[in-house]
Amino acid sequence: MPQTLCAVLVLGILQAPSPPAPSQRPGGDLRVWAAASLGPVLVGLEAPWEAQTGARLVLNLDASSRIARQVAEGAPADVLVTADRAWMEWAFEQGAADPAQARRVSANRLVLVASRDGPRVSPDPPTAPDDLDSFLESWDSTRRIGIAGEDVPAGRYARESLRALGRSEQVGPALVTGGNVRTVLEWVARGELPLGFVYRSDAWEDARVRVVADVADSLHTAIEIWAAPVVTTANPDAALRFVEFLSGSTGQGAFREAGFTPGAGGLRDPPSLLSPTDSRPPVASVRSAIRISVQVALVATLLSVIPAVGLGWLLARRPFPGKTAVSALLLAPLVIPPVVTGFLLLNLLGTGSPVGRALAALGIPVAFTFLAAVMAAAVVGFPLFVIAVRNAFEAVDSRLEEMSWTLGARPRRTFWRVSLPLALPGIGAGAVLSFARALGEFGATVVIAGNVEGETRTIALAVYTLLESPGDSAAIWWLVGASVGISLLALAGFEYLSRRQRHLVRRNPDV
Amino acid sequence: MSETGPLLRARVSIDLGSLHLSVELSSATGAVAVVGPSGAGKTTFLRILAGLEPRARGRVTVGGAAWMDTADGTWVQPWDRRVGWVPQDTLLFPHLSVRENLAYGLSRVGDSSSPAPLDDLAELVEARHLMDRRPAVLSGGERQRVAVARALLSRPRLLLLDEPFSALDRPLRDELAPRIRGYLDRHGIPVVLVSHEEADAHALGCREFHLVEGRLTP
């Protein structure tokens, strides 16, 4: 199972690597930027496409909101495939795709899934689920529900449906926002979250989840899969051919097999009712994002103080077995991609692990809570803290400690009266640095803490969320200003404290 | 401190790679000076006596009590030895005022409440006017005087002086040395002084040994 998550992480968050640009090989590889939910279909079409044309497909899979924006900003894509109509229309407006060449290639449905207990018996399609309204009637509100971001189509449809049912307020507090629908699926499949809104095609494909409720089509904007050649493509013919390939029998067969609803259509139907921004629920709150960021960073730093000072002192002053290994391991979070750190933390603290289960049993669930954001921030900030503490202690002349001993102060007393006061500015500098790093934490947080408005949505996550939606640039600029301002303030504090430290431990001039 | 035999007896050696030191010293008088060129191991010898060189081998007794003996594993920790250590660069605590530096060793004596000895010793080394200053603003000579006073205030069983007068001009040294000597005599505190100058040894009235290439000669 971890491979699947890895694939999601690599494809969805880190983005696909970039093989040759289309301009270099006209008529060759076709670069398809597609909604994450279409991954299985498109991967399955790689071989038939290559058989037909001799060219390879190069896929970049992410949320429709993100790929549409990237294509509009000039990403080197040949074909854009979105999991909803609104983002395709937005691409038309931006002049990134040509309406005349666009096709509705399929349709999808929304379902609520739970993680499946036990092994799968047969490749059964999800059958006999409840409808959403009756499911929510008897739903236990402590069972949290994963949902894609406000501006990701899957997230929008799910929120529309909840509003249509008049259940937004009931369910709102239990929602955990993931980056894209594949992330939500993975959370549920791994048992980190009990429930999640995903596409029917996702549930179909993934043996680890089962459908517990169907979301009626009438509750939300129709979920249409749209494909169009990108206007700037260097391969207009191949791009158009691929769009028609998706509408053709091979393409439609692949969609059907993957659990999509047949829905290929010709040119444009009447315009959809919703533009990407219309149905947007309250945007990420600037104030709450700043508050959460500062709280998370502050708590993470405070929790780190005692371990960082202890470990920094040990590394500076004491030989112990495995010291090299410890000091190397300590630096790991500095060089490991934060997303990977988040993944490891999720494995350590999620409900799938004994530690996570024990904590949850004690009433301290970690994953997707404020505490998870704190853990992510603490882990990535800790190395900087310890390095600063270690340097601070190493800068203290160890003979001052010896002098203290000869004056009758045992090591413990010496630590409190000599070592610690002399290292204090350096320790403060480390705390400030770790606070600043915690403030900027994104990758690990988004994996283990999700993107929960008012709970784990920090400045970085709020900016990311807002970037997915056109408009709201004022909110983004407020957040950017706050982020840059607080960071610079923290770095100024770091600089000041570092200077104090150097001044304090400067060796006496020779006598 | 009743005396049965030599006040100080040391037979120690240490191999620090670049320096091999092997010293045998026995003194019944209260004041010993080890004179030698720089790099001869004088400072290391004082550190061994203070208990700051765990790699040293041999035996040290002060006033009849064994501080270290590698033969039977005796080892008294530096905080239990009660030495007054005055290193060449004084090692005053930079974050404490002169008064706080002086008082640092008082707590082990248990009379930090009475400032009388503190003021007396500050007087002795002419440092009363410096009490509220930080070490960083003191001159080299002032620092050395404060360091000596701090060592004496901790009521040491053995005073270790490392080039203690190097930053004092000659008249001041000639004035201070007899006062310090008088104080040591009054309180029965033995002293080991190391210096590259015989004049320091004379000023404090020490019995002189010479340290050359890690070996001691009278």
Q: Sort out which chain B residues have CB atoms less than 8 A from A420's CB and list them.
A: none
- Total number of domains constituting chain B: 1
Q: Do A470 and A364 contact (CB within 8 A), yes or no?
A: no
| Residue B11 bridge partners (DSSP) | B24, B59
pLDDT in tens, B201-216: 888 888 888 888 777 7
Report yes or no on B116 lying in a domain.
yes
The CATH number of the domain where B100 resides is what? Answer: 3.40.50.300
Q: Which domain holds residue A182?
A: 110-219
Cβ of B52 and A402 within 8 Å?
A: yes
Determine contact: B84 vs chain A, CB below 8 A: yes
Task: Nearest by CB to A407, from B89, B108, B144: name it.
Answer: B108
Cβ of B51 and A406 within 8 Å?
A: yes
User: Alpha helix (H) ranges present in A190-248?
Assistant: 200-205, 236-247
Report yes or no on B164 lying in a domain.
yes
How far apart, in whole angstroms, are the C-alpha atoms of residue A37 and residue A257? 14
Mean pLDDT per 10-residue interval, chain A, length 511 residues: 44 41 56 85 88 86 81 84 87 87 88 68 46 81 84 84 86 83 83 87 80 84 89 87 89 85 52 41 72 95 96 91 89 90 86 81 82 93 94 94 94 95 95 93 86 81 73 78 93 92 68 34
Instruction: Check whether residue A191 and residue A250 sit in a common domain.
Output: no
The CATH number of the domain where A145 resides is what? Answer: 3.40.190.10
Instruction: Check whether residue A340 and residue A378 sit in a common domain.
Output: yes
For residue A437 the two structure tokens come to 């790093």
CB pairs under 8 A between A and B: 79
Instruction: Check whether residue A67 and residue A174 sit in a common domain.
Output: no
Instruction: Check whether residue A325 and residue A402 sit in a common domain.
Output: yes
Report yes or no on A511 lying in a domain.
no
Residues A168-189 as b or e (16 or more Cβ within 10 Å = b) = eeebeebbbbbbbbbbbbbbbb
Instruction: Check whether residue A70 and residue A172 sit in a common domain.
Output: no
Q: Which domain holds residue B185?
A: 29-52+82-206
The number of angstroms, rounded, from the C-alpha of A283 to the middle of its chain's C-alpha atoms is 18
Instruction: Check whether residue A382 and residue A420 sit in a common domain.
Output: yes
Residues 114-173 of B with CB under 8 A from A: 135-136, 140-141, 143-144, 150, 154, 166-167
CA atoms within 13 A on the CB side of A169: 1
Report yes or no on A266 lying in a domain.
no
Instruction: Check whether residue A410 and residue A454 sit in a common domain.
Output: yes
pLDDT in tens, B2-28: 445 568 888 998 988 888 888 888 888
Report yes or no on A184 lying in a domain.
yes
Instruction: Check whether residue A206 and residue A248 sit in a common domain.
Output: no
State the ipTM, two decimals.
Answer: 0.93
Report yes or no on A403 lying in a domain.
yes
Instruction: Check whether residue A231 and residue A303 sit in a common domain.
Output: no
| Closest approach of A327 to chain B, Cα-based (Å) | 26
Report yes or no on B67 lying in a domain.
no
Q: Which of A219, A235, A265 is the last residue of a domain?
A: A219
The number of angstroms, rounded, from the C-alpha of B100 to the middle of its chain's C-alpha atoms is 20
Report yes or no on A267 lying in a domain.
no
The span from the first CA to the last CA of chain B, in angstroms, equals 26
pLDDT score recorded for residue A129:
60
Cβ of A409 and B50 within 8 Å?
A: no
Instruction: Check whether residue A124 and residue A97 sit in a common domain.
Output: no
Report yes or no on A279 lying in a domain.
no
User: Alpha helix (H) ranges present in A138-271?
Assistant: 153-164, 168-171, 181-189, 200-205, 236-247, 249-257
pLDDT in tens, A28-41: 788 898 888 788 88
Cβ of A406 and B79 within 8 Å?
A: yes
Report yes or no on B18 lying in a domain.
no
Q: Sort out which chain B residues have CB atoms less than 8 A from A422's CB and list them.
A: 94-95
The CATH number of the domain where A345 resides is what? Answer: 1.10.3720.10
Q: Sort out which chain A residues have CB atoms less than 8 A from B85's CB and list them.
A: 403, 406
How far apart, in whole angstroms, are the C-alpha atoms of residue A62 and residue A76? 15
| Closest approach of A310 to chain B, Cα-based (Å) | 21
Report yes or no on B218 lying in a domain.
no
For residue A318 the two structure tokens come to 């004491």
Instruction: Check whether residue A292 and residue A202 sit in a common domain.
Output: no
pLDDT score recorded for residue A470:
52
Q: Sort out which chain A residues have CB atoms less than 8 A from B144's CB and list them.
A: 511
- Total number of domains constituting chain A: 3
Instruction: Check whether residue A208 and residue A293 sit in a common domain.
Output: no
Report yes or no on A297 lying in a domain.
yes
Cβ of B79 and A400 within 8 Å?
A: no
Cβ of A399 and B107 within 8 Å?
A: no
Cβ of B95 and A422 within 8 Å?
A: yes
The angle that helices B140-153 and B116-124 make with each other, rounded to 10 degrees, is 140
Report yes or no on A382 lying in a domain.
yes
